Amino acid sequence: MDSYASSILVSAGINMLLALGLYLVIRSGQFSVVNVSLGVLAGYVSAWLGASGSVPALFAMLSGVLLAGLGGVGISLLLRKMDGLTFGLATLALGETLGIVARLGFPGGGQGMFGVRLLDQPQVAVGIALAICVIGIAYYERTFLGLHALAAGRDSVAASSVGIDVIRARALAFGFGGIVSGMGGVLGTHYVGLAQPGDFGFAAELPVLIAVLLGGSRSAVGPVAGAAAVMAMQEVFRFSAADRFWILGLFLVLIVLLRPNGMLPATRIGARWPRSGDSATQTGPAQGEA
């Protein structure tokens, strides 16, 4: 396989992992924009532990992933009383805060950590991680835990009235989402060989958020396809680095205008155009303007 195709595949796989992590969190009704930052945090931990050379690389990577998972549980519990909008704002603030903390106190400071150990076979590593996550998520979605998270995402009041522990289901969903995002972040850090403070915050989240909104959060297929589509779009149009973010921003606004319910869990693709007899499957706020 030539190196161009290989690099595309690896980047696509990493973006799919990040999108799946975000999908798990949004699916449970928690609109987070901090997931990629959690992944970057995991990458930092792995790079820092790995740099000492005293622990095996795999152990360093798993520590990062685990920390991202615990971070997810922690954020979910911390923000459990917030409604959707405040939750989003708080996660936005947390992501930006991580960036500032990283500039001040993380190894490498404002420059970031260079020379992070590179993966020997990135395609294999990303392939294995993606396979684990897809199988794991497919299983999770069929367990009570996964169904409870989805119920909490669709209507938290109805869910708790039938005895579902919404806080627990959401905390675990954010934990699993953190683990999956953590895998993406760790692999990304070791693939690029660089962990830098600029990767925290909303800009890095942008392509992943677009992937999830584009693909829809009805099933895990959506975010994976969405990540592939965002990747393909970037390759086809080949925007310069300077143009990349404003174009992605414009794209996000257009997606929101076309599919305004896309950030709610389990919205069917094309839900803006309901068919007759479809009203029962509509989720989220009323379609018409009040």
Residue with tokens 């615990």: 70
94 vs 225, beta carbon nearer other proteins? 94
> How many of the chain's residues bind other proteins (CB under 8 A)?
58
Please pick, from the candidates 62, 65, 166, 208, the single residue that binds other proteins as defined by CB under 8 A. Answer: 166
CB 56 within 8 A of CB 46: no
Q: Is 288 near other proteins (CB under 8 A)?
A: yes
114 vs 246, beta carbon nearer other proteins? 246
Q: How far apart are CB 180 and other proteins at their closest, in Å?
A: 21
CA 200 – CA 254 distance, rounded (Å): 24
Q: Is 31 near other proteins (CB under 8 A)?
A: yes
Q: Is 83 near other proteins (CB under 8 A)?
A: yes
Please pick, from the candidates 80, 117, 168, 268, the single residue that binds other proteins as defined by CB under 8 A. Answer: 80
Q: Is 202 near other proteins (CB under 8 A)?
A: yes
Q: Is 203 near other proteins (CB under 8 A)?
A: yes
Please pick, from the candidates 84, 107, 115, 270, the single residue that binds other proteins as defined by CB under 8 A. Answer: 84
CB 200 within 8 A of CB 105: no
Stretch that binds other proteins, among 47-55, 57-65, 88-96, 133-141 (CB under 8 A): 88-96
166 to 29, 80, 149, 219: CA distances (angstroms)? 10, 9, 7, 20
Please pick, from the candidates 51, 57, 89, 192, the single residue that binds other proteins as defined by CB under 8 A. Answer: 89
For residue 216, what are its two tokens?
Answer: 């829809």
- Eight-class DSSP state of 263: T
Q: Give the residue among 106, 75, 100, 73 at the shortest CA–CA distance from 88.
A: 75
In the chain the first and final C-alpha atoms are separated, in Å, by 55
Q: Is 230 near other proteins (CB under 8 A)?
A: no
Q: Is 93 near other proteins (CB under 8 A)?
A: yes
SS (H, E, C) 141-177: CCCHHHHHHHHHHHCHHHHHHCCCCHHHHHHHHHHHH
CA torsion sign, 95 to 97 to 100 to 103?
Answer: negative
Q: Is 51 near other proteins (CB under 8 A)?
A: no
Q: How far apart are CB 208 and other proteins at their closest, in Å?
A: 12
Q: Is 5 near other proteins (CB under 8 A)?
A: no
Task: Output phi, psi for 256, to 5 deg.
Answer: -65, -40
Please pick, from the candidates 92, 134, 147, 229, the single residue that binds other proteins as defined by CB under 8 A. Answer: 92
In single-letter form, the type of residue at position 116 comes to V
Task: Please list the residues that pair with 195 across neighbouring strands.
Answer: 113
Q: Is 152 near other proteins (CB under 8 A)?
A: yes
Q: Is 269 near other proteins (CB under 8 A)?
A: no
Q: If DSSP codes are grouped into helix, strand and coil, which group holds residue 83?
A: coil
Interface residue list for other proteins (CB under 8 A): 29, 31, 33, 78-86, 88-90, 92-94, 96-97, 100-101, 104, 152, 155-157, 166, 201-203, 206, 209, 213, 242-246, 248-253, 256-257, 260-264, 284-286, 288-290
